Chain A
């Protein structure tokens, strides 16, 4: 029960802070003061009090997209262990459910984008679909590596086996570091961060995620922003789970876990400050390269 509450508290409370940390990191690197860290909380508060504008061409799917995009990360948070706190829901093979829950959310986001009837949003939807296909193998190979290390098929055991300081034992260490690196790239790709997509620009022909949600407004848009932030938290939690050793003291571990999440956000901010957006042709190349890297990690583990 405490784990249940803890997971919900973390996902609802901490998630909107991460985009704030990323934005602040970028601002500091660029020599600006930047928006307050709590900007997203205020935006959400503002959006939830606003009215909704619906186009006449849309159907119920248009409303369902943001709702599912909000509900899925909450469900995902219950399946994924957060550092020392084991996942409240856990069963054999739940990592498949975890991955395809997000597939479901993406499917509805794409449908909602197509539902507006705008060719522009259709373009973004096509790109989102293409890139997510290329991301999926990396996630699964990473999970296979974890299954291989832990010998168990549930997310709890997979990340639990890794977290207990096994990282520094030499045979698995290289594969684990490779896996963590690949999952970080997956984080950047899945959450539309800079080498793949620029979340700040509204430069029309280059956007992917932003373009799909252009027609949403008010509370629906708030749900989308909240869902995106929660997804970012979950992706960072996967990387942190891999890298952070567990000491055994629950309070200390939890603090370290939250600190590490913020550190990942800082790392994302640093990547965004240092890199430019890739050309669209180069994106599949990088994603396939990441898949091959994770395969290489698997080879190292299997020999």
Chain B
């Protein structure tokens, strides 16, 4: 089973790179959905099939793989944008930063005093590098929708951490996080619509300008 889980985690890290390097919003949303769907399989492979892991997996799959992408696709249809035109940092640079943070995540994870069964696993580095990729998206992109995507990737990283703690963490906490996420996406969708109506673009920089 460790082989399957580490393949899943590697795929997640590779998808991080893809998201950092692409400018098409549609592809971005699809890849984030795929990432979420892959991650939702993790509890099943890690803890076997029981009610707890089954509920967690089904909930995550439903939300991350289906409902949230659907909401986001609806949002970009409404505001009619296809690409992130001008990120603050270019795609090549953000890819390089992503690779750098991944390397740092691997080195850092090796230094951490972990439980012996987690020493060699990919969980910690994958979680850290996904968190970093999410941060990068949040910092470097201008459009509200890509920032939402960054937030989602960030949550995926937290989810990887969470999966390690599933036994310690009650189901309620996980479902609470997922529900939070859904509500946050809802709110961001509404906010995006408002920004769009106000400034006829969803560039968040407009929000920094003070206006009488």
Q: Which residues of A contact B (CB under 8 A)?
A: 170, 174, 284-285, 288-289, 292-293, 295-296, 299-300, 303
Which A residues are CB-close (under 8 A) to B17? 289, 292-293, 296
User: What 3 A-B pairs have minimum CB-CB distances, sorted nearest first?
Assistant: A292-B99, A299-B106, A288-B92
Q: Are A303 and B110 in contact (CB under 8 A)?
A: yes
Q: Is the CB of B110 within 8 A of A284?
A: no
Q: In the complex, A108 Cα to B195 Cα: how many Å?
A: 56
State A105–B91 Cα separation when bound (angstroms).
Answer: 32
Give how many A-B residue pairs fall within 8 Å (CB-CB).
38
Question: What distance in Å separates the Cβ of B125 from its nearest Cβ neighbour in chain A?
Answer: 8
Query: Are A299 and B102 neighbours in the complex by a CB distance under 8 Å?
Result: yes
Whether B13 and A292, one on each chain, are in contact in the complex, defined by CB atoms closer than 8 angstroms, is: no
Question: Chain A: interface secondary structure?
Answer: helix
Q: How far is the CA of A53 from the CA of B52 in the complex (A)?
A: 78
Q: Could you tell me the distance in whole angstroms from the C-beta of A204 to the nearest C-beta in chain B?
A: 27
Are A285 and B13 interface neighbours, CB within 8 A?
A: no
| B96 with A288: CB separation less than 8 A | yes
B27 at the interface (CB under 8 A from A): no
What residues on B are CB-neighbors of A170 within 8 Å?
Answer: 3, 6
Tell whether, in the assembled complex, residue A284 and residue B92 are in contact, meaning their CB atoms are under 8 Å apart: yes
Which residues of chain B have a CB within 8 Å of any CB of chain A? 3, 6-7, 10, 13-14, 17, 21, 91-92, 95-96, 98-99, 102-103, 106, 110, 125
The reply to whether A174 and B99 contact each other, CB–CB distance below 8 Å, is no
Q: Which residues of A contact B125 (CB under 8 A)?
A: 303
Q: Distance (Å) between the CB of B18 and the closest chain A CB? A: 8
A296 touches B13 (CB 8 A): yes
- Offer 30 A-B interface pairs, CB within 8 angstroms, sorted by A: A170-B3, A170-B6, A174-B6, A174-B10, A284-B92, A285-B21, A285-B91, A285-B92, A288-B92, A288-B95, A289-B17, A289-B21, A289-B95, A292-B96, A292-B98, A292-B99, A293-B14, A293-B17, A295-B99, A295-B103, A296-B13, A296-B14, A296-B99, A296-B102, A299-B102, A300-B10, A300-B106, A303-B106, A303-B110, A303-B125
B92 / chain A contacts, CB cutoff of 8 Å = 284-285, 288
**How far apart are A298's CB and chain B's nearest CB, in angstroms?**
9
A292 touches B95 (CB 8 A): yes
